[in-house]
Amino acid sequence: MDDADLALLLKYPLISKALAENAVTYKGTVHVNEEDYEICVTNSNDTNFKLTLPERLTSFEAEVDAVITKEQPKNIITVLDIICTFISTKIPFTEPIDRCEVYRHILHEYSDFTRFYLNIKSCFLAHDLSKVRISTLDQGRREHSFEISANFDDKNVFSVTSYDLPLDKEEFRKSASLKDIYDELLGTIDTFQPFFEVMDEFDRNCWVLDPEEPKRSCGYRRIWIRENFSVIITLNPVDVSRLPEIKLLGPERLVEEYRSNLNSNISEWEPKNGVFSETLKLLGLESFPQKPAVEERVPDLLVNSGDCSICFSSRLNDKLPEVICKNKVCENCYHVECLYEWLMSVNARRFFSDVVGLCPNCEKNITCPIPK
């Protein structure tokens, strides 16, 4: 062993040297920031060093090569130094997280939290500290529940993982503070107060066919108007004062009657007078009919014209059939999904957001919206 080999062994004890015909290969492990990296360097002449880096570093290989070409190291130790410096800058050292500290933090946050707020209805911390379930009352005494999960490996340990609010996408930040998370949730709940109020008014004063048990996040209601006829009213949760989307469901003669009501009343939409009563006015109604008492069982026929003529059932994903054939002698009804699939299987034409084809029952033209 010569001096150079000894120096290599002293500095990089886990790298071994192997001689081949035209090259020397150095192979083994370097230890950087508490982690091991398997590397291989082949030296074919004085300054030609060829590297093979572990998988997690392969994307940097060209960069390291460039540094070595530029600096022209004279020996293997300098090459290994360059590689190690490179690793320590590209993969910075992260302090291992102390679980005990994290658990203590969660417990502290939780006990602080439960003492701090008055509007909390219930609060529960899972035994393994992985979840906090909170239920709270808003200004209108409506209950909202959500789940906050703890990620023990993240500095911002808390994140909202389940809620029932009309948000399109995940909008909550992670945080180390349970209070911050909760305050943000409360702020969001506050912004939806007008929406919740209007939805509650519909639920109290209408016979809601769909959904059977509306969630807070749900922005639509299918409401019974009269035999064989219902409407789907969809509100914008962010701005309930906007004109609601109203879909009329029933045989064509009834749809036409109510459509003409809508067309003549639409210019008088004045949300300041109350979204609920203005929606009634739009439809030309005094009030919405109430659901009959439970004792008088309602025949399904009264609710709408019946089951879907494709799947023969009434509800699909909690929804009643929405498409009704306009042909007066047919008036069969279909779930959007069922009819769409049927029409697509028999070469229906696409027309903007609808498909047009033939009714499976009467074979007259029928239009079906493309399911979302």
User: What is the binding site for Zn ion (CB under 5 A)?
Assistant: 308, 310-311, 325, 327, 330, 335, 338, 359, 361-362
Residue 315 Cβ vs Zn ion, minimum distance, rounded to whole Å: 9
Residue 360 Cβ vs Zn ion, minimum distance, rounded to whole Å: 8
Residue 369 Cβ vs Zn ion, minimum distance, rounded to whole Å: 14
Element (H, E) at 310: none
Inter-residue contact 308 to 335 (CB < 8 Å): yes
Residue 240 vs 310, nearer CB to Zn ion: 310
Residue 314 Cβ vs Zn ion, minimum distance, rounded to whole Å: 9
* Tokens 């067309």, residue located: 263
Residue 327 vs 367, nearer CB to Zn ion: 327
Our CA dihedral for 42, 47, 48, 51, rounded to 10 degrees, sits at: 50
Inter-residue contact 224 to 206 (CB < 8 Å): yes
Inter-residue contact 19 to 6 (CB < 8 Å): no
CA atoms of 133 and 150, how far apart (whole Å): 11
For residue 292, say if its preceding peptide bond is cis, omega within 30 degrees of 0: no
Long-range pairs for 79-86: beta carbons < 8 A, 24 or more residues apart: 79/41, 79/43, 79/49, 80/11, 80/12, 80/15, 80/26, 80/30, 80/39, 80/41, 83/30, 83/39, 83/41, 83/51, 83/53, 84/30, 84/32, 86/60
Residue 304 Cβ vs Zn ion, minimum distance, rounded to whole Å: 13
Residue 24 vs 362, nearer CB to Zn ion: 362
Residue 115 vs 372, nearer CB to Zn ion: 372
- Amino acid letter for position 251: P
Residue 336 Cβ vs Zn ion, minimum distance, rounded to whole Å: 9
* Tokens 């509800």, residue located: 315
Residue 103 Cβ vs Zn ion, minimum distance, rounded to whole Å: 51
Q: Which of 130, 137, 183 is nearest to 158 (CA)?
A: 130
Residue 198 vs 359, nearer CB to Zn ion: 359
Residue 285 vs 362, nearer CB to Zn ion: 362
CA atoms of 352 and 341, how far apart (whole Å): 17
Residue 154 Cβ vs Zn ion, minimum distance, rounded to whole Å: 45
Residue 109 vs 322, nearer CB to Zn ion: 322
Residue 312 vs 352, nearer CB to Zn ion: 312
Tokens for 306, please give them.
């019946």
